[in-house]
């Protein structure tokens, strides 16, 4: 890693400490090619893709919701990976010839089998409306893609006390992985972890065990169901919230954060992230 990039990481960590709970930043960002070995439909538009690569036997996740950059060659093109050295992978991709540039989208590792050198990734599909979804709906075993490590967001394993997790369907795989890291949904609930999920189709949850989660069906804009419900839930009182994590559509995550702050939660104990934004292509 170059000196300038190390300085950037240090400055980013300092800024997070002042305004929000900090994510887990990796010191390294390994990059390599993977092969699709299985594809399965989970329901509600969620699709599970299993990838394999020798490098995954040595890879170690830095958090339960470890996410990575999936680099997908454009239809009819062979996979070309960018320079792995620069911190900014988007800039590295932009340096490639136009026809060689893979599409880049970010996804959470749902499960990691180091012995087999495999990861499972659950992806919400919505037809051909974006390159990630378009690639996923046509993915078949044998397809080649790129992996670029990035980091993790959840730090609640280090926290004692009440926790609040807020998600939409795109963040459900992350929540499921977090609950497993906490010993399972029941153990997490006994530890004081509350889950609030907003989905447009409850079928997307059929293959997930989220325990006693509060599930809200969205009929309007993202956040229109879960944010008011969260606001009422927090108003009912209870133990102080020691840590909160809100991820999914940008307005949903920001709305959850505002509700938490409104009820006295320190901003520095809340991590929120817009996985995507309504009306904009996911990057």
Residues 147 and 161 placed together within one structural domain of the fold: no
In which residue are the tokens 């459900």 written? 172
At residue 19, the pLDDT reads 59
Looking at 116, 136, 152, the residue that finishes a domain is 152
Residue 92: pLDDT above 90? yes
Residue 1: pLDDT above 70? no
pTM of the model: 0.90
Instruction: Report yes or no on 19 lying in a domain.
Output: no
Residue 28: which of 153, 149, 114 has the closest Cα? 149
CATH number at residue 56: 2.40.30.10
Residues 141 and 198 placed together within one structural domain of the fold: no
Return the bridge partners of 274, or none. Answer: 248
Instruction: Report yes or no on 2 lying in a domain.
Output: no
Dist. CA 132–CA 141, nearest whole Å: 16
CB 19 within 8 A of CB 267: yes
Residue 8: pLDDT above 50? no
Return the bridge partners of 165, or none. Answer: 195, 245
Dist. CA 29–CA 48, nearest whole Å: 24
Residues 203 and 101 placed together within one structural domain of the fold: no
Task: Tell me the percentage of the chain whose pLDDT exceeds 70.
Answer: 92
| Domain ranges, residue 223 | 156-276
Q: Which two tokens stand for residue 147?
A: 């992996």
Residue 230: which of 262, 205, 199 has the closest Cα? 262
Residue 161: pLDDT above 70? yes
- 221-238, pLDDT tens digit by residue? 999 999 999 999 999 999
Residues 269 and 177 placed together within one structural domain of the fold: yes
Number of domains in the chain: 2
At residue 280, the pLDDT reads 77
Residues 54 and 170 placed together within one structural domain of the fold: no
Q: Which has more confidence, 106 or 10?
A: 106
CB 70 within 8 A of CB 121: yes
CATH number at residue 179: 3.40.50.80
Q: What is the largest CA-CA distance in the chain?
A: 57
């Amino acid at each position: 890693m170059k000196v300038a990039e190390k300085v950037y990481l240090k400055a980013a960590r300092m800024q997070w400490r002042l305004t929000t709970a900090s994510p887990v930043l990796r010191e390294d960002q390994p990059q390599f090619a993977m092969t699709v070995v299985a594809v399965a439909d989970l329901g509600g538009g969620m699709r599970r893709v299993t990838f394999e690569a020798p490098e995954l036997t040595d890879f170690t996740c830095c958090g339960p919701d470890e996410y990575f950059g999936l680099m997908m060659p454009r239809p009819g093109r062979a996979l070309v990976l960018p320079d792995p050295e620069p911190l900014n992978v988007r800039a590295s991709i932009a340096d490639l010839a136009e026809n060689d540039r893979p599409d880049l989208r970010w996804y959470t590792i749902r499960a990691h089998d180091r012995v087999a050198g495999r990861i499972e990734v659950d992806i919400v599909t919505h037809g051909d409306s974006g390159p990630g979804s378009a690639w996923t709906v046509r993915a078949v075993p044998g397809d080649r893609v790129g992996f670029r490590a990035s980091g993790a967001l959840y730090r609640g394993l280090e926290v004692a006390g009440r926790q609040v997790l807020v998600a939409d369907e795109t963040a459900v795989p992350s929540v499921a992985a977090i609950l497993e890291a906490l010993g399972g949904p029941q153990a997490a609930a006994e530890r004081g972890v509350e889950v609030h999920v907003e989905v447009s189709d409850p079928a997307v949850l059929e293959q997930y065990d989220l325990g006693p989660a509060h599930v809200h069906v969205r009929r309007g804009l993202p956040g229109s169901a879960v944010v008011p419900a969260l606001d009422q839930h927090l108003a009912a009182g209870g133990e102080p919230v020691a840590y909160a994590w809100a991820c999914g559509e940008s307005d949903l995550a920001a709305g959850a954060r505002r509700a938490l702050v409104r009820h006295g939660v320190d901003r520095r104990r809340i991590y929120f992230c817009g996985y995507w934004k309504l009306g904009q292509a996911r990057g």
